[in-house]
């Protein structure tokens, strides 16, 4: 079994977890299907990429699918030879590592190139340096004269309808060379890994969710047969839970559990007693402060990477739905009011109007937090 060509995304997956890399190539059917919420994030990212291209107008898209890398490489070479100064998604390969650059730009046909990596985040993250460094490394090895590597990300201070300052471009060139030895080392490591006949053994750990949730996480975790609830479910355990896992401490009743905070201790006590914890005194004291009618209120929001409503910025949370159960007094039946905005128009005014209609001038609003 051998697989010699790596994409940048798979290389990054290998850095996070070698098992992730191996399974993504040879047993991809084990991955958890992409849920609608995650797919929406992917779709938002594509929209951000298209919007970024408008900041470098006149470019040519290497419109070749990712499953046809040879054609993408041929098209890229052809366009560079033609003197094109801006390319969208050009393809390059060196030592069997293939990259597609979001935007490749130069001022003139004889000028050095600039790599622009587009991200739908509002800040620079650690993994972005490696992502850009891989591209910088490959293009240099490929033989191009590359002057700079830049990260293009969303400006949290941009306010709709003025999208002129939607993006921030940050120069990262000086930090990229330091990653080259790591890239070369892991290229060798990953090729050896992918020549193995079996899946590498990797224990679950922080890498399962950092910097991204692994698509094979459910597969790996389900094989552990962990109790639920168990130590891995304890409130805010962080990486400490993996230390317990290595020591075989998985049950909440395990006497070896130590150094727990108040809430964690309470969870353990409930597991041992089998009785739920109800803070009856605290609940009674809280309810005494409430005044009828009671409005049990809940709402949902959505955040767009590219703002589309007046006064909004990237990822501002826009309410589009609410539900409210109303109890007029202790003898009344509960009334239910709800609203869902199901068009693409700005939902805020209509949602606010419906809330004002549902909730009177007196009473208590109760929401879950």
- Residues in CB range of 8: below 8 A, 6 or more apart: 97, 98, 99, 100, 131, 134, 135
Here the tokens at position 245 are 């896992």
Provide the 3-class DSSP secondary structure of residue 79. Answer: helix
Determine contact, residues 327/294, Cβ cutoff 8 Å: yes
Token match 């935007």: residue? 103
Q: Give the Cα separation of 334 and 343 in Å (integer).
A: 29
Quote the pLDDT of residue 4: 65
Quick one: 295 exposed, middle or buried, by C-beta within 10 A (0-12, 13-18, 19+)? buried
Q: Give the Cα separation of 11 and 14 in Å (integer).
A: 5
DSSP-assigned states of every residue in 32-58: PPPPHHHHHHHHHHHHHHHHHHTTSTT
Quote the pLDDT of residue 67: 87
Give, for all 369 residues of the chain, the pLDDT tens digit.
555 689 999 999 999 999 999 999 999 999 999 999 999 999 999 999 999 999 999 999 999 988 899 999 999 999 999 999 999 999 999 999 999 999 999 999 999 999 999 999 999 999 999 999 999 999 999 999 999 999 999 999 999 999 999 999 999 999 999 999 999 999 999 999 999 999 999 999 999 999 999 999 999 999 999 998 999 999 999 999 999 999 999 999 999 999 899 999 999 999 999 999 999 999 999 999 999 999 999 999 999 999 999 999 999 999 999 999 999 999 999 999 999 999 999 999 999 999 999 999 999 999 987
Quote the pLDDT of residue 351: 98
Quote the pLDDT of residue 5: 85
Q: Give the Cα separation of 220 and 65 in Å (integer).
A: 31
Determine contact, residues 163/306, Cβ cutoff 8 Å: yes
Q: Give the Cα separation of 91 and 68 in Å (integer).
A: 10
Phi, psi angles (nearest 5°) of residue 80: -65, -45
Quote the pLDDT of residue 3: 56
- The DSSP bridge pattern shows strands 103-105 and 86-88 to be antiparallel
Quote the pLDDT of residue 89: 98
Quote the pLDDT of residue 369: 76
What Cα–Cα distance (Å) separates residue 121 from each residue in 16, 41, 211, 298?
Answer: 19, 11, 13, 28
Q: Give the Cα separation of 167 and 51 in Å (integer).
A: 9
> What dihedral do alpha carbons 7, 10, 15, 16 form, nearest 10°?
160
Quote the pLDDT of residue 136: 97
Q: Give the Cα separation of 261 and 240 in Å (integer).
A: 13
């Amino acid at each position: 079994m051998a697989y010699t060509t790596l994409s940048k995304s798979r290389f990054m997956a290998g850095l996070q977890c070698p098992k992730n890399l191996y399974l993504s190539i040879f047993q991809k059917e084990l991955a958890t299907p992409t849920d609608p919420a995650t797919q929406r994030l992917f779709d938002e990212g594509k929209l951000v990429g298209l919007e970024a291209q408008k900041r470098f107008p006149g470019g040519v898209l290497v419109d070749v699918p990712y499953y046809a890398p040879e054609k993408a490489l041929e098209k890229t070479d052809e366009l560079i030879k033609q003197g094109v100064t801006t390319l969208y998604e050009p393809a390059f390969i060196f030592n069997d590592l293939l990259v597609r650059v979001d935007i490749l730009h130069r001022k003139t046909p004889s000028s050095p190139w600039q790599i622009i990596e587009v991200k739908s985040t509002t800040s620079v993250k650690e993994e972005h340096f490696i992502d850009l460094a891989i591209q910088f490394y490959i293009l240099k090895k490929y033989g191009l004269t590359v002057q700079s590597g830049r990260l293009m990300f969303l400006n949290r201070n941009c306010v709709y309808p003025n999208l002129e300052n939607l993006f921030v471009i940050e120069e990262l060139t000086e930090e990229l060379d330091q990653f080259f030895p790591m890239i070369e080392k892991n290229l060798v490591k990953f090729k050896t890994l992918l020549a193995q006949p079996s899946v590498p053994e990797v224990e679950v750990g922080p890498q399962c969710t950092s910097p991204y949730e692994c698509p094979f996480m459910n597969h790996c975790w389900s094989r552990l047969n962990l109790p639920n609830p168990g130590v891995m479910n304890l409130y805010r355990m962080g990486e400490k839970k993996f230390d317990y896992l290595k020591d075989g401490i998985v049950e909440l009743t395990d006497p070896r559990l130590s150094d727990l905070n108040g809430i964690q201790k309470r969870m353990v006590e409930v597991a041992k007693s089998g009785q739920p914890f109800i803070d009856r005194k605290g609940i009674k004291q809280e309810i005494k402060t409430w005044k009828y009618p009671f409005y049990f209120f809940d709402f949902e929001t959505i955040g767009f990477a590219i703002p589309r409503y007046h006064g909004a910025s990237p990822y501002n949370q826009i309410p589009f739905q609410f539900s409210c159960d109303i109890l007029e007094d202790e003898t009344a039946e509960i009334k239910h009011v709800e609203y869902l905005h199901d068009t693409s128009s700005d939902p805020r005014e209509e949602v606010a109007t419906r809330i004002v209609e549902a909730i009177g001038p007196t009473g208590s609003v109760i929401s879950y937090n």
